[in-house]
Amino acid sequence: MLYEQIIERSLIEKGWSDDRKYRVMTSDGQAYLLRVSDIERYDAKIQEFNNMQKIASLGLNLCNAVEIGICDEGCYVLYEWIEGQDLLEVIESLPKVQQYQFGVIAGEALRKIHHIPLERRVQFDWAKKFNDKLDQRIDRYLKGAIQYEKGQIFIDYVNQYRHLLEDRPIVFQHGDFHVGNIDGKLIIIDFDRSDYGDPWEEFNRIVWCMAFPAFASGIIDGYFNREIPLAFWELLALYIAGNSLGSISWALPYGSRQVAVMIKQAQEILEMYDDMTCEKMIPKWYHSYHRY
């Protein structure tokens, strides 16, 4: 067992995960990423580990999981250690054409992730599940002490387009797919929030990429092989609006600075969608790159 060969560990404080993360070294001088979770998450971690093995078999560039087990602190997963920088740290310095090509590669990888085989037992009614989630987000938002200046626009859009959730397919999701979870060598990292659901919901994190329109546009073009269904844009806007309504309550435990980030992001989302009225709900940053 590799875990038993660990001789030193250094805490990694970066990221939002509840896992405890460490850079560890084994007795043979090999570095790994160690993630430790509460024991209650062991079954979920086994499922995540198995899915990552399936994804690795597709030949995708990802941070491979190499061992899972139980330890005194709970349960653990050991991953390959990836030396280098996150793409977020270097993307701004890249030419726009290269940013776009990196996005295309990431989008093609996401499409492959969404095609790994599922176990039958993960099939469920997506519309019911997500509508319940939207109801909870709206309720918390309306009862919260902090609201957006134009928050009702999000609520109105969600209520108008809920019907788009019907009959959506179910796939394995990375769960947090954006520029911050892709290494500078285009290695996909951090499957900690992996889940099952509508493949198009996966794009709700693209708001964290819209500062880089070339990269964000490339993700969508690569995923759809440049043949993007018009229905995608309206559903993407629904998922982004729903996320925005839940962002304030998510940010509160992290303090006023993170709340301010969410308020600013909501303003940017409303601007990119002309207060949720823009033509075909195609965000402005997508148009801006393709006019580049």
Half-sphere exposure in the Cβ direction for 251 (13 Å, CA): 22
How far is CA 221 from each of CA 63, 64, 108, rounded to the nearest angstrom?
24, 26, 9
Rounded Cα–Cα distance for residues 147 and 153 (Å): 12
| Domain 3-80 class, CATH top level | alpha beta
* pLDDT at 134 exceeding the cut of 80: yes
Q: Where are the domains of the chain?
A: 3-80, 87-290
How far is it, in rounded angstroms, from Cα 92 to Cα 99? 8
Instruction: Output the pTM of the full model.
Output: 0.84
51 vs 277, more confident: 277
Mean pLDDT estimate for the chain: 88
Q: Higher model confidence: residue 288 or residue 170?
A: 170
Cα of first residue to Cα of last residue in the chain, in angstroms, is 52
87-290: CATH topology: Aminoglycoside 3'-phosphotransferase; Chain: A, domain 2 (3.90.1200)
Structure tokens given for 142: 């309306």
Which contiguous run of DSSP H or E holds residue 187?
none
Residue given tokens 């951090």 in the structure block: 190
Tokens 């160690």 sit at which residue? 34
- Please give the Cα distance from 238 to 162 (Å, whole number): 8
Predicted local distance difference test score (pLDDT) of residue 195: 85
- SS3 state of residue 210: coil
pLDDT at 181: 60
Q: What percent of the chain has pLDDT over 70?
A: 92
Q: What is the pLDDT of residues 35-60, one digit of tens each?
A: 999 999 999 889 888 888 888 777 77
